[in-house]
């Protein structure tokens, strides 16, 4: 959830007025049940709330392991627009999802997933948000996504069969890929015309040079094993946020061709020793550096952007970090070596 969310955990009863007030104030509401909760008695009331509030209300049933989740319970929620069925080891009758004709958002996570063709359900073709969690074989067929013309946000963990289908999604703006193996080519992204945000986490590959997304606004790369090369970042001319974390083989970064960059976060990139073009970023106002090989004094000597108001630099050495804190405070850049940067 990107908006501030009111989370209601395992409720014994529901306060419709509280939920309505939170949604009226612009908040998302999440009503969720785990192994300790019992959703069935509340399902008629939840369905009535879903009919009123649409996708602003998410209903989540998760963590039933070791019990098998019986998806037929969802027949009591014909009006649900935002649904999360995740953290399940096994589930029966998943085809019941095909009876939910108001769905706009779906998070699906079943580890021993048998229905690899689940995306063929026709009513799912109108989804605007879809998240597919990891399974034992990661073999969901992604080919049916070609019918998902309204899909704007997609998260995939591990599944890669026919992943190039994503290139034809006209509304897709936000894509998150987790645990994608290095043998899976990512050049299909050049066909996602509206791609605005991209997250790559876990999995592995040596380079992302093949990714070409000229409208990209935000790029996050976290713990992708073996990554050494980002390629020419000038191919992302609209980039405003760059977040690199736990990329130990990355040794250099050149941002001189990203004049719109506003936020730069470099965390635990322990091999990073060179950062070029920093002083040439007129819009950069936030810089976070933690546990890299970058030299703080050299960074200052090279010049800092005039717009920089929030800089945090952490080496992991207490005395040196205190010195840096004091220097940043004198320079008017915040002087905080903590890691409170916002993603």
Instruction: Delimit the domains of the chain by residue range.
Output: 1-112
Write the CA distances from 73 to 4, 77, 78, 94, integer angstroms. Answer: 28, 8, 11, 10
113, β-bridge pairs = none
Residue 148 half-sphere exposure toward CB, CA atoms < 13 A? 25
Write the CA distances from 233 to 288, 334, 338, integer angstroms. Answer: 19, 28, 27
Residue among 124, 126, 129 at smallest CA distance from 149: 126
Assess contact for 37 and 67: CB atoms under 8 A: no
E strands in the chain: 5-9, 28-33, 57-62, 69-70, 82-88, 91-92, 105-110, 129-132, 153-157, 174-178, 197-201, 218-222, 241-245, 252-254, 263-267, 274-276, 286-290, 310-314
- pTM more than 0.95: no
Residue among 282, 298, 276, 181 at smallest CA distance from 232: 276
Burial (0-12, 13-18, 19+ Cβ within 10 Å), 303: exposed
The tokens 């936030």 sit on which residue?
A: 286
pLDDT tens series, the chain, 343 aa: 446 799 999 999 999 999 999 999 999 999 999 988 899 999 999 999 999 999 999 999 998 667 789 999 999 999 999 999 999 999 999 999 999 999 999 999 999 999 999 999 999 999 999 999 999 999 999 999 999 999 999 999 999 999 999 999 999 999 999 999 999 999 999 999 999 999 999 999 999 999 999 999 999 999 999 999 999 999 999 999 999 999 999 999 999 999 999 999 999 999 999 999 999 999 999 999 999 999 999 998 899 999 999 999 999 899 998 989 888 877 666 544 443 333 4
């Amino acid at each position: 959830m990107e908006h501030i969310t009111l989370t209601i955990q395992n409720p014994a009863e529901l306060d419709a007025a509280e939920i309505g007030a939170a949604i009226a104030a612009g908040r998302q509401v999440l009503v969720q049940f785990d192994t300790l909760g019992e959703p069935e008695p509340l399902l008629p009331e939840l369905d009535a709330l879903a009919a009123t509030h649409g996708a602003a209300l998410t209903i989540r049933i998760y963590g039933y392991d070791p019990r098998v989740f019986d998806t037929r319970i969802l027949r009591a929620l014909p009006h649900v627009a935002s649904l999360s069925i995740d953290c399940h080891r096994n589930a029966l009758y998943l085809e019941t999802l095909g009876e939910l004709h108001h769905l706009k958002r779906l998070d699906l996570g079943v580890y021993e997933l048998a229905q690899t063709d689940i995306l063929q359900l026709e009513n799912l073709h109108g989804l605007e948000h879809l998240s597919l969690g990891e399974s034992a074989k990661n073999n969901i067929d992604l080919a049916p996504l070609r019918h998902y013309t309204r899909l704007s946000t997609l998260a995939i963990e591990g599944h890669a069969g026919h992943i190039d289908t994503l290139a034809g999604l006209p509304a897709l703006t936000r894509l998150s890929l987790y645990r994608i193996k290095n043998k899976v080519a990512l050049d299909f992204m050049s066909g996602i015309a509206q791609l605005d945000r991209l997250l790559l986490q876990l999995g592995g590959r040596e380079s992302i040079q093949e990714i070409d997304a000229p409208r990209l606004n935000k790029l996050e790369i976290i713990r992708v094993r073996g990554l050494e090369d980002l390629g020419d970042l000038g191919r992302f001319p609209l980039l405003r946020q760059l977040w690199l974390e736990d990329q130990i083989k990355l040794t250099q970064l050149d941002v001189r061709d990203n004049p719109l960059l506003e936020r730069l976060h470099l965390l635990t990139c322990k091999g990073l020793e060179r950062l070029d073009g920093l002083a040439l970023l007129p819009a950069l106002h936030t810089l976070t550096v933690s546990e890299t090989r970058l030299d703080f004094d050299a960074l200052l000597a090279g010049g800092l952007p005039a717009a920089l108001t929030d800089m945090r630099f952490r080496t992991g050495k207490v005395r040196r970090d205190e010195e840096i804190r004091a220097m940043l405070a004198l320079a008017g850049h915040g002087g905080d070596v903590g890691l409170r940067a916002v993603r």
